[in-house]
């Protein structure tokens, strides 16, 4: 690759704590190397429409502790319409980008994989609170979401105990149980239900009853939004799908709470944590991981290593190919879930 003069950066998909630290690191590392950075607004939509913003040290000053993304985001799939995909290619060229840094999850990086095949020079940065991307040990945003959920579980304990109730906490995570399992272990949940294993209602009620017998007249059940009942029923908010074909999950918490109350006779309440898990200031871990990812992505561009994504492997930030395998879903580590199960009840 010749001299790198100009790079673009975009954030796509659901927002997530740590995006601003990544953008800041990209801009600072790029500018330190004499590279101009153009911010693409609202994910791939910005390249479809040609909506950009110049980024400099001033624009990223003070954004490190802020949640969300200063660039805006959207779930735009430019490959839904051939003219949109063409517009992306045209704007990339018109902006004279030497490379693009795409920060996103499965969908945003999936689009990047297709664009790389069409000749664009892209480096990917994995992002999602769900931690469900196969080619990195952790994504930034996950730690913040887990901490929010853990705090909620801590708070549910005192009200559950005072009222002798069962509390069901529904957490995000899409089709993977990472948030549920980490937050559930950290918060000492009595049962944790994940999409990777069908919900066994009899077993859940049995745990609750046993706790009552030993004098624990309250229980905390954490359920991942993508968890399914034994018959395979997964609960979605609506039938409508987004541009990438995903349904909006949510509702299993209420369904489960109703069934638990019916079967055990114990008063049961549900708390749906929802987007609170995605909002607000990133934890120190997510700020550091985001900063390391952002700086490494620029280093890869400068080294001519596009078509790659940054990844956390153990303690190291490394480069991995940005291909179809990179965007495959990573489900919960069975060993970790077995550990969680050994503490149920
Ligand atoms: O992928 C992140 C995530 O927060 C999922 O956990 C959740 O299912 C989804 O996004 C919610 O998306 P939206 O912001 O479109 O409601």
Give the structural domain span for 211. 143-279
> Can you give the pLDDT at residue 34?
98
21 in contact with ligand 1, CB cutoff 6 A: no
172 in contact with ligand 1, CB cutoff 6 A: yes
180 in contact with ligand 1, CB cutoff 6 A: no
> Can you give the pLDDT at residue 240?
82
Query: Which atom belonging to ligand 1 lies closest to the Cα atom of 242?
Result: 15
Return phi, psi of residue 261, to 5°: -65, -45
Angle at 179 between CA 174 and CA 184, to 5 degrees: 130
Same-domain check for residues 220 and 254? yes
Establish whether 130 is a catalytic residue: yes
251 belongs to a structural domain = yes
Query: Which atom belonging to ligand 1 lies closest to the Cα atom of 174?
Result: 8
Residue 264 sits in a domain whose CATH number is 3.40.50.460
Indicate the SS3 state at residue 221.
strand
Same-domain check for residues 98 and 126? yes
Average pLDDT, the chain: 97
Same-domain check for residues 103 and 221? no
Same-domain check for residues 196 and 293? no
| Closest protein CA for atom 2 of ligand 1 | 14
249 belongs to a structural domain = yes
How does pLDDT run across 285-324, given as a tens digit for each residue? 999 999 999 999 999 999 999 999 999 999 999 999 999 9
CB atoms within 10 A of CB 40: 30
Which residue from 17, 142, 174 has its CB within 8 A of the most atoms of ligand 1, so it is best to mutate?
174
Same-domain check for residues 191 and 251? yes
What are the strands of the beta sheet with 122-126, ordered from one edge? 52-55, 36-40, 6-11, 99-104, 122-126, 308-313, 316-321
Which residue from 43, 68, 172, 247 has its CB within 8 A of the most atoms of ligand 1, so it is best to mutate?
172
The tokens for 285 are: 């871990």
> Can you give the pLDDT at residue 233?
75
40 belongs to a structural domain = yes
Which of 305, 295, 293 minimizes the C-alpha distance to 136?
293
Please give the helix or strand (H or E) that residue 158 lies within, else none. Answer: helix 142-163
Contacts of 313 (CB under 8 A, 6+ apart): 136, 137
120 belongs to a structural domain = yes
The tokens for 219 are: 């229980």
- Domain C-terminal end among 279, 313, 337: 279
Indicate the SS3 state at residue 222.
strand
Q: Is the pTM of this model over 0.85?
A: yes
Q: Evaluate if residue 1 carries a pLDDT over 90.
A: no
Same-domain check for residues 62 and 80? yes
> Can you give the pLDDT at residue 232?
76
Same-domain check for residues 13 and 127? yes
Same-domain check for residues 158 and 122? no
d(CA 75, ligand 1 centre) in Å: 10
179 in contact with ligand 1, CB cutoff 6 A: no
Sign (positive/negative) of CA torsion 203, 206, 210, 211? positive
Same-domain check for residues 303 and 233? no
Task: Report the number of distinct structural domains present in the chain.
Answer: 2
Strands 166-171 and 268-272: parallel
Same-domain check for residues 132 and 152? no
339 belongs to a structural domain = no
With contact defined as beta carbons under 8 Å apart, do 191 and 206 qualify?
no
337 belongs to a structural domain = no
| Closest protein CA for atom 14 of ligand 1 | 14
Could you tell me how many residues make up the chain? 345
d(CA 78, ligand 1 centre) in Å: 19
Which of 46, 44, 41 minimizes the C-alpha distance to 23?
41
228 belongs to a structural domain = yes
335 belongs to a structural domain = no
141 in contact with ligand 1, CB cutoff 6 A: no
pLDDT band of 234, cuts 50, 70, 90? confident
Residue 110 sits in a domain whose CATH number is 3.40.50.450
205 in contact with ligand 1, CB cutoff 6 A: no
Same-domain check for residues 154 and 106? no
d(CA 177, ligand 1 centre) in Å: 14
Same-domain check for residues 118 and 164? no
């Amino acid at each position: 690759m010749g001299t790198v003069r100009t790079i673009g950066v975009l954030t796509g998909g659901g927002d997530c704590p740590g995006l601003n630290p990544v953008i800041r690191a990209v801009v600072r590392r790029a500018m330190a190397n004499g590279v101009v950075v153009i911010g693409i607004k609202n994910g791939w939509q910005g390249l479809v429409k040609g909506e950009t913003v110049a980024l400099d040290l001033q624009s990223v000053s003070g954004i490190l502790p802020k949640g969300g993304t200063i660039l805006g985001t959207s779930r735009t799939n430019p490959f839904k319409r051939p003219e949109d995909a063409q517009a992306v290619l045209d704007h990339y060229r018109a902006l004279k980008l030497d490379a693009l840094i795409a920060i996103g999850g499965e969908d945003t990086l999936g689009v990047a994989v297709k664009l790389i095949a069409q000749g664009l020079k892209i480096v990917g940065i994995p992002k999602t609170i769900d931690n469900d991307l196969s080619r990195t040990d952790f994504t930034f945003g996950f730690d913040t979401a887990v901490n929010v959920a853990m705090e909620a579980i801590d708070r549910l304990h005192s009200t559950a105990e005072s009222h002798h109730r069962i509390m069901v906490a529904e957490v995000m995570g899409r089709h993977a149980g990472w948030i549920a399992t980490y937050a559930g272990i950290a918060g000492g949940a009595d049962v944790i239900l994940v999409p990777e294993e069908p919900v066994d209602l009899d077993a859940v009620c049995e745990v609750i009853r046993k706790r009552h017998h030993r004098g624990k007249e309250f229980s905390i059940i954490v359920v991942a939004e993508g968890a399914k009942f034994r018959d395979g029923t997964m609960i979605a908010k609506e039938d409508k799908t987004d541009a990438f074909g995903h349904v909006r999950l949510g509702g299993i918490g209420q369904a489960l709470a109703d069934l638990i109350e019916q079967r055990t006779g114990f008063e049961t309440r549900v708390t749906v944590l929802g987007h609170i898990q995605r909002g607000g200031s990133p934890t120190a871990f997510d700020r550091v991981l985001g900063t390391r990812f952002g700086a490494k992505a620029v280093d890869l561009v400068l080294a001519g290593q596009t078509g790659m994504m940054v990844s956390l492997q153990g303690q190291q930030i490394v480069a991995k190919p940005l291909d179809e395998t990179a965007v495959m879903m990573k489900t919960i580590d069975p060993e970790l879930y077995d550990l969680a199960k050994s503490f149920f009840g």
